[in-house]
Amino acid sequence: MTLETVDPWFSRVSGPAGPARLFCFPHAGGNPADFLAWAGPLAPDVELLLPNLPGRGTRLFEPPIGELGPLVEQLTGAVSRLADRPFALFGHSFGALVAFEIARALRRAGGPAPVALWVSGAEGPQLRSQRRRVHDMPDDELIDVLREYAGTSAELLEHRELVELILPGVRADFAMNERYTYRPEPPLALPIHVLHASDDPHVVTDPVAGWTRETTYPPHVTMFPGGHFFLREHEAAVAALLRAGLTAVDPRNPYQDQPARAFWRTGVAEPDPLDITDVWRPKFAMGQDDPIITAGSCFAREIGRALLERGMHWYVAELPPPGLSAAERADRHYGEFSFRTGNIYTTALLRQWVEWAFGKAEPPASSWEHDGRHFDPYRPSVDPAGFASLDDLLAARQTTLAAIRRAVETAACFVFTMGLTEVWADRADGTVFPSCPGTIRGTFDPDRHVLRNLTFFEVYEDLAATVELCRAVNPGLRVLLTVSPHPITATATGSHALVASTHTKAVLRAVAGELAAQRGDVDYFPSYELITGAPFRSRFYQANLRTVGPEGVAFVMRHFLGPTSVSSTADGGDLSCDDAVLDYYNAH
């Protein structure tokens, strides 16, 4: 059996080219040639490709790459060049990490996608246990570790001259494995097949749980008897699995048995718009007594009101002090959300409030002063008269942070409505504001205040981090995401308002969908689609084509809580929307 180089980074077994390709990546310090035993069982349907890495094999005398990022970049480019037919990625142990990062890099680059990712003898990248540091051990100690791991030929390890030739590559592999840092991204839209052993001392955390987080598909799991290098004992069975996975054809048409709701004509175009049903199938139930907390953009105010009218337990953690009239309570934004932050339009601001509440970051002890009064930069409209002193402001802020803690620790469900991607940030300390300084309060400083239009990955990272932090203090918490159907009031990006609003909502909707698809404890409710969808022809908007009227609010809440939920006379108007003030600056 001979190998031929098809790219500087890959070789294939000589012979007829197969209709599918399998790229295989070995464990740290491993020899790709270990996979050659699969070539026969995979042929002629699957072509085996093995990596040519610097410091190993035919590239033995090249300096090895010791950083995973540059290695993945090179391998991703090579995989792209060789992706002229269906292909899959396979990795064992450290090789699973390499294969996983190649799959993510292909997606980021908009490149060809593998039909599947196969991971073997590896913990999920988010849940990896502590790595033993071996890459910088003295040679003799490192060789002893290789003997202990039993992944390198014992005969080879007896030849010191040969071992010294391979040690630089071995060290590079272990260094990449030990230094790996997981970066949150949406799960891969491809199947992940998890192979693991019954008695693997190097896989401490549950590999199924870890890898399930990284795919939108149900996990495919196969367990084999044996230890970390079980592949050697089960070569034929593993090869058969791989061949079946790459050559299987499902004869069923997946649309054949779909219900009417799955088709545009019968689900959307033909019914009366107000009779469209079964739009949302909740992942989890909300019981009558379950504490539910709410936060988000101005449309989110309707959620709490609707919960109360239905007799459900909307938990308000920050109550007004005694003696305030109804008008004063409304003026100070009590009872809009579960805590008195005011509108939280962006995921960056939500993460900031939650991290402040749980001590992950320290809020600046600062205020905006006007006419001798102090206003909170992070909720400038919440106390319209301001505070007499900075100390009073900071004390009030601490009250709200304590309310956030109580709310998160108590809640069974957190409903968060996302509104914007445009956020103004402070260059000096990195904090973000709910509105542009100088619009509601404060003074705009072009040298200090900068606009950030959050990307999909930034919104996803902020939201995922917030969910993780909340669930760390309340493991039973579930999160329900919505996207506000209110268009933006104005944009500072330079785009037309229509284009900017569409971009904003598309990013938020995509993030909500991805996170809900990834996690069983996160769901998405389609309030945005129920107002803006084509069959409704803007019927729920008022004359400004921005404010949702009472009919629209009731329609959304009927889908949210059921047909007997709400007969609202309220609208989703601009009364408490901080960003609505931007229209004041419209000179037209």
Of 11, 60, 29, nearest to 153 (Cα)? 29
Find the catalytic residue in 11, 14, 80, 93: 93
Sorted by sequence, the CB contacts under 8 Å of residue 318 that are 6+ apart come out as: 334, 338, 339, 340, 399, 400, 403
Strand partners, 478: 413
Give 537's contacts (C-beta < 8 A, 6+ positions apart).
Answer: 273
User: Is 381 labeled as catalytic in the residue annotation?
Assistant: no
Measured CA to CA, the distance from residue 109 to residue 111 in angstroms comes to: 5
CB 429 within 8 A of CB 317: no
- Cα distances from 42 to residues 33, 36, 239, 251, 402, in angstroms, run 15, 10, 6, 22, 61
The SS3 of residue 235 is helix
- Note whether 129 and 61 are within 8 A (CB): no
Residue with tokens 């004992």: 233
Token readout for 302 is 């309707």
DSSP 8-state symbol, 491: -
Q: What angle do CA 272, 284, 469 make, to 5 degrees?
A: 120
Tell me the C-alpha distance between 557 and 575, whole Å.
Answer: 19
Give the DSSP letter of residue 11: E
> DSSP for 356-411?
HHTTSS------EEETTEEE-TTSTTTSTT-BSSHHHHHHHHHHHHHHHHHHHHH-
Spatial CB neighbours of 136, under 8 Å, sequence gap ≥ 6? 171, 175
Rg, Å, the chain Cα set:
28
Which residues are known catalytic residues? 93
